[in-house]
Structure 1
Amino acid sequence: MAKHKSSRKRVWLWRVLLTLGLLVGLALVFNEQIKLFVVDHLTQTTMQKIDANTVKKNQKTPGNFDFKSVKALDVSTVGKAAATANQRNAIGKIAIPAVNLKLPILKGLSNSNLSTGAGTMKPDQQMGQGNYALAGHYMTDRGILFSPLKNVQVGNTVYLTDMAKVYTYKVATKTTVNETQVQWINDVAGKKLVTLITCASATEGETNRIMVQGALTKTTKATTKTLAVFD
């Protein structure tokens, strides 16, 4: 009789553990889906609100440029970004048609900014001048944030706009660098560049970065036609 009761307890315990494991697994799966959905929604809604007046206003706002404050995207971080969506300081847009990348550009590296689009890496940098450096998160979904950079190839075109002009760059370099190799975002005398940085994988603690760099080839006025690439 005692053995029978002990056996029933073990079966019950295993059922409880299996149920808990299933629930935890489902929570992890749906948390990831919810996170991706919210990030994509933040990206799209921010893109729709960017115009010339908004850019001029937001260019005057301060930004956070502390690399060490950047955290991996989790549900909590994304949730905070969604709660402050109306406070985002968008200053432009970026598009790379070859990999279907279209994102808002935001001033600084706050976690809310990086939950929404690409963040500027240096104070007072200007499109079409010096080395315009942007950072973004790499996620498991290749269509979210800077994940598509993994598929960029030399020769691809990168477009930036501040809603007054459209700046066209041609990718000249793509490589993997260590997170400590920050010299890639420095200005280079006589050159007008764009530098894009993202993690080499979605693994937490990843120390390598994908670095894409292009040279300015053309600057045109922002019109309905030239801005169509960002739609």
Structure 2
Amino acid sequence: MIRKIIRGLLLLICLGSLGYIGYQYNWLNVRSNVTRYQTTHQVAKLSHSKVSQGTRQRIERQIMRQTQSDQDLTKQGFVSIPNVGILQPIFNDAYSDKGLAAGANYANRSAVDPDGKTVPVMGQGNYGLASHNFNDGKTGFSALQDKLNEDAPYLVNGKLKGSNWLKGKMLYLANDKGIYAYKIGRQTLVNEDDVSVLNPTKKPVVTIISCLFPSTQYRIITNAKLTKTYTWQKAPAKVVNLFDLEKQNTNVHASWFNPGTEEGANGDAGGSK
């Protein structure tokens, strides 16, 4: 009997060790899926709560609160991609460490505007966004990569490919004028110096730029097309709730690399704490 108990314990230890190793090395995409469930569960739970006009005004004020003026950064609004748990502020400098340390930033240096003189406008033309990929599936724009720490399906046998894993999912931008709903299309992979992806477009789109891991010399491009524009007063409750910083967690900071205070419920809750 004692031997059977010992064998059972040893078996449990072995299975537990295999499970831990499998999670750490993302076997069968387990770690990616667990991380996505953790980061999106809260969003799904809150999405349909009703929102009063007073709460709408409060949310609008909080997302536009200038939190990085001491770094000479100006907030332009917020981005939310609820299906992968992304919620972070948008600042005005994607080409500096201080900008990328603070959150997402609009990116506007294109082949036709190499100096980035034109300031992008939400809901108009090609609105570029950039943020760090911390390779943890949750911080910055890490969650946009299909599989943690795997080049495929974006880079296969040295060839630049793409992915449809987020196709049809929604992306939202918000500023003091309203909320802009975009539908995500195909992701593509480009070289790090390919700025043509930010060239002006006639139709309103979002172009998100984030690194690929482990081959960080490439960039994942996530494209989305505008489908709807809302005022704060008339936006659906489930959309407004995505930006409620007193209830939703933001995902800018990785304590091991990029410490700081989150603006969401996991930090200062929009300045209410």
TM category, shorter: 0.5 to 0.7
Q: 2: CA distance between counterparts of 1:108 and 1:137?
A: 13
Whole-angstrom distance in 2 between the partners of 1:99 and 1:54? 20
Between the two structures, name the one with larger relative contact order (CA 8 Å, sep ≥ 6). 2
> Any idea what the Cα deviations from partners look like across 1:7-48, whole Å, max 9, x if unmatched?
xxxxxxxxxxxxxxxxxxxxxxxxxxxxxxxxxxxxxxxxxx
| Identity score, percent | 32
The CA deviation string for residues 103-162 of structure 1, in whole angstroms up to 9 with x for no partner, is: 111112231121121111124110000000001111022110110111461111000001
Match of 2:228 in 1: 218
**TM-fit CA distance, 1:163:** 2.9
Instruction: Name 1:149's counterpart in structure 2.
Output: 144
Matches within 5 A, 1:1-231: 51-52=60-61, 55=64, 86-87=70-71, 88-109=73-94, 110-122=96-108, 123-151=118-146, 153-189=166-202, 191-201=203-213, 206-223=216-233, 225=237, 226-231=239-244
Runs of 4+ residues deviating >4 angstroms: 49-55
SS, match of residue 90 in structure 1: coil
Q: Deviation at 1:230?
A: 2.2
Which deviates more, 217-226 or 161-170?
A: 217-226
Of Structure 1 and Structure 2, the greater helix share is in 1
Distance 1:177 1:219 in 2: 30
Q: Judging changes above 3 Å, is the alpha-carbon distance between structure 1 residues 146 and 54 closer, same or farther for their aligned structure 2 residues?
A: closer
Partner amino acid, structure 2, of 1:201? F
- Per the alignment, in what secondary structure is the counterpart of residue 102 of structure 2? coil
Task: State whether residues 105 and 129 of structure 2, in contact with CA within 8 Å, keep that contact through their aligned partners in structure 1.
Answer: yes
RMSD (Å), alpha carbons: 2.7
Partner of 1:154, secondary structure, is coil
Instruction: After TM superposition, give the deviation of residue 85 of structure 1 in Å.
Output: 7.2
TM-score (norm 1): 0.60
1:50 to 1:178, Cα distance in 2 relative to 1, 3 A: farther
Match of residue 261 from structure 2? none
The one-letter code of the counterpart of 1:97 is P
CA, structure 1 residues 177+208, in 2 after alignment: closer, same or farther (shift >3 Å)?
same
Deviations 1:186-221 (A, max 9, x none): 1123x1100100000266xx2100100010000001
| Residue number in structure 2 paired with 1:30 | none
C-alpha contact 1:169 1:214 (8 A) present in aligned 2: yes
* Equivalent AA in structure 1 for residue 212 of structure 2: A
* Structure 1 unaligned regions, length at least 5: 1-48, 59-81
- Counterparts in 2 of 1:95 and 1:202: CA distance versus 1, 3 Å: farther
| Structure 2, unpaired ranges of 5+ | 1-57, 109-117, 147-164, 245-273
Change (3 A) 1:51 1:112: farther
